[in-house]
Amino acid sequence: MARVLEPDIIITDIKMPVMDGIELIKNIKNEGMDTRFLVLSSYNDFKYVKEAMKYGADEYLLKLQLEPDNLVKTLKILVNKLEKERKENKKREIIEKYYDVGIPLVREKFFKDLLFKEGIKNDEIELQKKFLNINLPEQNLICLVLHVEKNEAHQKYTDEKLSLLNDSIITILDGVVSKYGCGYAVKTETMEFTIIYSLKEIFDERSVYEHINLLANNIRQSMSTYTNTAVYIGVSNIHQGYDSIRLAYKQAVKAVNKASVYTNKSLLRFSELEVLSEDMNYKELLAELAELETHLNENDAEKADQILENIKKGIAQSKYISKEYLSRICSVIFFIVNSFAQKHNITFDAITNGQTPLLSEIEDFTTLNQYMDWINNLQKEVINELTENSSQKSIIVKAKRFIQSHFIEDISLNTVADHLSLSPGYLSILFKKETGQNFIDYLIELRMEKAKELLRTTELKIYEISKKVGYENIYYFSRIFSKVVGVSPKQYQNNFKNVQKK
Read off the pLDDT of residues 300-356 as tens digits, 9 standing for 90 and up: 788 889 999 988 888 887 766 777 778 778 878 887 887 777 776 676 665 555 444
Interval 148-157: pLDDT, tens: 887 666 666 7
SS3 for 354-391 is: CCEECHHHHHCCCCHHHHHHHHHHHHHHHHHHHHHHHH
For the stretch 150-201, pLDDT in tens is 766 666 677 788 888 888 999 999 999 988 888 999 999 988 999 999 886 7
Euclidean distance between CA atoms 23 and 52, whole angstroms: 9
pLDDT in tens, 240-279: 899 999 999 999 998 888 776 654 557 888 876 654 444 5
**Once rounded to an integer, what is the mean pLDDT over residues 213-218?**
88
Pick from 356, 447, 432: nearest CA to 392: 432
CA distance 185 to 171: 8
Domain extent listing, the chain: 2-96, 104-273, 282-381, 392-501
Q: Which residues contact 417 (CB under 8 A, 6 or more apart)?
A: 423, 424, 426, 427
pLDDT at residue 246 in the model: 93
| Residue 48 pLDDT greater than 80, yes or no | no
**Superfamily classification of domain 2-96:** Response regulator (3.40.50.2300)
Angle at 371 between CA 365 and CA 377, to 5 degrees: 120
CATH 1.10.10.60 for the 392-501 domain, yes or no: yes
Give me the CATH topology for the region 104-273.
Alpha-Beta Plaits (3.30.70)
pLDDT of residue 407: 92
Average pLDDT, the chain: 80
Residue 112: predicted pLDDT: 92
| Cβ neighbour number for residue 225 with a 10 Å cutoff | 9
Contact of 113 with 134, CB cutoff 8 Å: no
Q: Is the pLDDT of residue 477 over 90?
A: yes
pLDDT at 283 over 50: yes
Judge whether 348 and 337 are in contact, CB under 8 Å.
yes
Does pTM top 0.85 for this prediction?
A: no
Q: Tens digits of per-residue pLDDT, 420-473?
A: 888 888 889 888 888 888 999 999 999 999 999 999 999 899 999 999 999 999
Predicted local confidence at residue 14, as pLDDT: 67
Radius of gyration over alpha carbons of the chain, in Å?
Answer: 42
